[in-house]
Amino acid sequence: MLKYLTSVKKFWINELKFHKIVYFLLTIILVGAFFIRAYRTGDLLRFYFDQGRDALVIWKLWHEGKPFLIGPVTGLAGIFLGPFYYYLIAPFYLIGGGSPVYPAVFLALLTTIAIGVTYYLGWQIQSRVTGLIAAAIAGFSYYMVLAGRWLANPTPILLTSVLLLLSMWKLVEGKVKNTKFLWFSLALLIGVSLHFEAASAIFYIPMIIIFWMYLYLTNKKVLPNKVIFVISILLFGLTLLPQIAFNYKHENILFNNFQKVLVEEKSFQSPFTSYNLTKKRDFFWGVFSSKIFPGIVKYANIYYLAGLLGIVFALRKIPKTISLLIIFIGVPMIGYFFFQGNYGNIYDYYMTGYYLPMILLFSIGLGFLWKNFLGKILVLVFFLYFCNLSGTLDRNLIYAGVDGPTHITLGNQLQSVNWVFEDANQLCDPEEILRLPTVAQDEECSRQFNVDVYVPPVIPHAYDYLFLWQATKRCGDNLCGMIKEPQKKTVYVLYEVDPPHPERLEVWLSRYEENSVIEEEVKFGGITVQRRKRI
């Protein structure tokens, strides 16, 4: 082991010594990528339904000692992910004293590491230039930045997907003598990925089967023997143990739901209708193209065509690698054509596990074009357009204010929540309370109050967590007088704007029109807070 580590150290010293410009540029890319994913997280973090739900689960772990065997629910009713995402970010909630900023920055760091792995893949597959191209696109593409700033369970699969691809490429390359650790890593990475985003990782299973068949036809020597195969299956099964335990603890609920989704609801059906094929084709193209050029760009198709031509020419030079990427991306795309679950809906984030491999494939095409003078000009012009478009959007994103009429992020959410506690703290002067009769103290000057929240998704998990976190931080178990029941004379009504359905907000507010009066009202961006007195 020491000998191996010494050789690795020597290799990287020489690599850095002889390619200083490359690693100077890579450092700028990685530092810049992390910066735009982490800058002003406390103000701009999107903390909504899913984030509040996850934070409440982790709160119970640290404050009530309640571990968990399942993770977030998927888009399929009754089907839950594994709990590894919760355990991954839980330490950072603890370190941050309950702040969601810490786990969000941690996930931003993971996505930056994934960009570094993408560089390494591009370098090893084709050239250092290809690696830099892939890292630059992945680092600064607007929608990749949004994915890296997302405090949600799909985000870590950006890293596991490229680690999975790296392990597969090492097998295809055929230079590793002892391949058992590669097969073990494949099993663990697929299993762990299923804890992050099942809609991506579920297709890793048929993909790895096709990959096995490909290796059987091209290089049988790297296939595992029976012992390695069995251990790999056991390692994969190990990642599913929490869900299996939960399933049998709750009367086979997960297996029954899984059977219902697959068999009764027929989640996988024939896709061969012109409408379905066209719809899915346009969707896949939109997912891929948006990671290169967000929105419609006048000259985008020129570069997509140039990248495609580069891939075609690269196929002659590195056929095994291009075949691997086609398997890695193509098999899941075919699976998505057949997938009809979740009412036929497929969302962009379902494909998080394929974002970076897609960018890598495109970058291989540009890397091939870089080999001649005209190609260099095309690539440089591409980056001029890319930087102008994504750079503008990135800058607008990280420097955005929190006081816009419809703006709602963690910054103004916390402003709203903290205003409630600061205002409630001034409801009664402590000396005035002592001068009042006991009954009056309880009825007129009690600092206890209720909070009622409206958010467009109906369930205000985000505010349930933010109020709980801030109240505990300020006052401990007393929660600064905030109670759910019974009703108190003072109630703080907090609501978010709901442009698509203002009538729903009006109906919700109408409950207070006859039985309360507004004493004070403040606005924080798209959030309104009212202190009302019940009458």
Q: What is the pLDDT of residues 284-298, one digit of tens each?
A: 888 888 898 887 666
Q: Which two tokens stand for residue 389?
A: 């478009």
234-238, 273-277, 346-350, 529-533: least confidently modelled range: 273-277
Distances (CA, A) of 39 to 274, 283, 313: 45, 31, 40
- Predicted local confidence at residue 428, as pLDDT: 62
Mean pLDDT on 272-290: 77
Is residue 328 scored above 80 in pLDDT?
Answer: yes
Is residue 116 scored above 50 in pLDDT?
Answer: yes
- Predicted local confidence at residue 312, as pLDDT: 79
Is residue 335 scored above 70 in pLDDT?
Answer: yes
CA 481/CA 433 separation, integer angstroms: 15
- pLDDT top residue among 77 and 358: 358
Q: Which two tokens stand for residue 344?
A: 């036929």
The 8-class DSSP code of residue 220 comes to: G
CA 8/CA 366 separation, integer angstroms: 30
CA 115/CA 190 separation, integer angstroms: 19
- Predicted local confidence at residue 440, as pLDDT: 45
- Predicted local confidence at residue 313, as pLDDT: 77
- Predicted local confidence at residue 143, as pLDDT: 95
Is residue 488 scored above 80 in pLDDT?
Answer: yes
CA 141/CA 379 separation, integer angstroms: 16
- pLDDT top residue among 305 and 86: 86
Q: What does the angle CA 116 – CA 160 – CA 86 come to, to the nearest 5 degrees?
A: 115
82-93 residue pLDDT tens: 999 999 999 999
Alpha carbons within 13 A on the beta-carbon side of 171? 29
- Predicted local confidence at residue 433, as pLDDT: 46
Q: How many residues are present in the chain?
A: 535
136-167 residue pLDDT tens: 999 999 999 999 999 999 999 999 999 999 99
Strands 527-534 and 490-496 turn out to be: antiparallel
217-230 residue pLDDT tens: 998 999 999 999 99
| Mean of per-residue pLDDT scores for the chain | 88
Is residue 435 scored above 70 in pLDDT?
Answer: no
3-state class (DSSP) for residue 67 = coil
Q: Where are the alpha helices (DSSP H) in 48-156?
A: 49-64, 84-95, 101-125, 128-140, 142-148
CA 494/CA 451 separation, integer angstroms: 8
Mean pLDDT on 323-342: 83
Per-residue b or e along 366-394, where b marks 16 or more CB atoms closer than 10 Å to that residue's CB? bbbbbeeeebeebbeebeebbeebbeebb
- Predicted local confidence at residue 310, as pLDDT: 78
Q: Which two tokens stand for residue 441?
A: 């103290």
**pTM of the full structure:** 0.91
Mean pLDDT on 113-123: 97
Mean pLDDT on 16-29: 92
- Please say whether the beta carbons of 516 and 533 come within 8 A: yes
